[in-house]
Amino acid sequence: MTAIVEAHALGKRYGQRQALSECTLDIPSGHVVGLVGPNGAGKSTLLKLACGMLTPTTGSVTVLGSRPGAGPEQVARVGFVAQDTPVYPGLSVADHLKLGARLNPRWDQAFAAQRIESLGLDPAQKAGRLSGGQRAQLALTVATGKRPDLLILDEPVASLDPLARRDFLRHLMEGVAEQGTSVILSSHLISDLERVCDYVIVLAAGRVRLAGEVEELTGDHHRIVCSRRDPDTLPPGLDLVHAEHTERQSTFLVRSAAPVPAGDWAVEPVGLEDLVLTYMERAVASGDRSTAQNPETTR
Amino acid sequence: MNRGLVIDFRLDAHSGVAPYLQIVQQVRQALLLGLLTEGDQLPTVKQVVAKVAINPNTVLKAYRELEHEGLAAPKPGVGTFITRSLSQASLAEQEPLRQDLVAWLARARAAGLTDAGIQALFHNTFRNTAEEDR
């Protein structure tokens, strides 16, 4: 099957600032992809490149096999909800669906209307008067009503309270189960991503630090706790990701597809949250923050 | 609410147990408690994700694991059904294993292992063999 996103040495520069560099990805279809990284890591840039709202400075990207925004057909296949789930405040809920029907060739009015009803939204209500959670649900309804093959969501739950967040994710997953839609969403809430994502990309300072299927990544990483020692004394074949030492103890995070051999150490599994944070920390510790100014403040 | 649903799943994000395994364990537990019996339909993938907000593949994987264990079977186009009850008979099957474990625990304590030491040894060995079996 065609990859959701295939990127080769993809880069984007805004004037002097390199927002994204050397980004190479190959995400197989049928996944719910979580995109994580500190503010200014380049998440929004990557998502906008994927939906065709930005053009690359270097490298190339294809989405569902075509150049993003290449034509009406490609645009119809990709749904995008920008940060803070924007809606038209002066338009009613029903107007949003009308707009969706006008602008999208594959629009599914029955589905969209049914969804608005099940959410308990009043079609006559002006979108500007909706709560944050309702606004996010409306934006998701318009994006899913166009029946895309791929849904791209930029921090869709960031401004929602926990209840609205859970509600949003439930509806999103329902759509995935029903339609087989692939999803890419960025978020700071790793616990949410742990529930819904089966593929994760860690972005820091404009570079991809880690990408792969969640199960594979958590299966391949191990924490080794032992008496203080040099990493060189660990068994061969382990890829050292992170080392931490106290006076007496050493803690290593290693990557290895094969199980870590038994020895005078304890081997522990590593959860997704720890894994993601370690890779982010490593990017920061390596001093690679030169490009990590905060574009979020410029929006 | 939730009429027609035989059981509900819940997910503990901090348990350290993989989400699909949590579902498998909850089905097994429901079987042992007699909440589920042969012929019952498990919630559809759509029902589960709409309730618990998890990835549909997680549910599919859990159901495949249950099929692999011979506890459930899919009926194409309908859903996944329980094919076996975990009655007292299967608890009886566990009895020899339990007795082995009791004897082993006695040996471990005689060898001077503390409770914490026994647990650490069990967990490490369990994890290592589980990984080898993968």
Give me the mean pLDDT over the B13-23 stretch.
82
- pLDDT < 50 positions in chain A: 289-299
Is A178's Cβ below 8 Å from some Cβ in B?
yes
Is B71's Cβ below 8 Å from some Cβ in A?
no
Of A218, A263, A262, A221, nearest to B128 (Cα)?
A262
Facing residue for A169 by CB, picked from B53, B57, B120: B53
What are the tens digits of pLDDT across the range A114-147? 989 988 999 999 999 999 889 999 999 999 999 9
Residues B55, A266: C-beta atoms closer than 8 Å: no
Domains of chain A: 5-215 (3.40.50.300), 221-285 (no CATH)
What are the tens digits of pLDDT across the range A163-188? 888 988 998 999 899 888 999 999 98
Is A151's Cβ below 8 Å from some Cβ in B?
no
Instruction: Specify which residues A185 forms β-bridges with.
Output: A34, A153
How many Å lie between the alpha carbon of A54 and the closest alpha carbon of chain B?
A: 29
The residue count for chain B: 134
Residues B50, A171: C-beta atoms closer than 8 Å: yes
Q: Which of A173, A190, A200 to mutate to test the interface with B (most CBs of B within 10 A)?
A: A173
> Would you say residue B33 has pLDDT above 90?
no
Domain ranges in chain B?
A: 19-82, 88-133
Residues B120, A171: C-beta atoms closer than 8 Å: no
Q: Given pLDDT bands bounded at 50, 70 and 90, which one contains residue B3?
A: low
Is A176's Cβ below 8 Å from some Cβ in B?
yes
Contacts of B24 (CB under 8 A, 6+ apart): B62, B65, B66, B69
Of A5, A8, A7, A23, nearest to A291 (Cα)?
A23
Is B72's Cβ below 8 Å from some Cβ in A?
no
ipTM reported for the complex surpasses 0.90: no
- What's the CATH class of domain B19-82? mainly alpha
Q: Given pLDDT bands bounded at 50, 70 and 90, which one contains residue B1?
A: very low
How confident is the model at residue B39, as a pLDDT? 92
Is A143's Cβ below 8 Å from some Cβ in B?
no
Contact A16, A121 (CB under 8 A): no
What residues of B are in contact with residue A181 (Cβ under 8 Å)?
none
Facing residue for A178 by CB, picked from B18, B46, B55: B46
Is B57's Cβ below 8 Å from some Cβ in A?
yes
How many Å lie between the alpha carbon of A195 and the closest alpha carbon of chain B?
A: 5
Q: In what order do the strands lie in the sheet with A5-14?
A: A17-27, A5-14, A58-63
Is B56's Cβ below 8 Å from some Cβ in A?
yes
Neighbours of A263 (CB within 10 A): 12
Residues A266, B124: C-beta atoms closer than 8 Å: yes
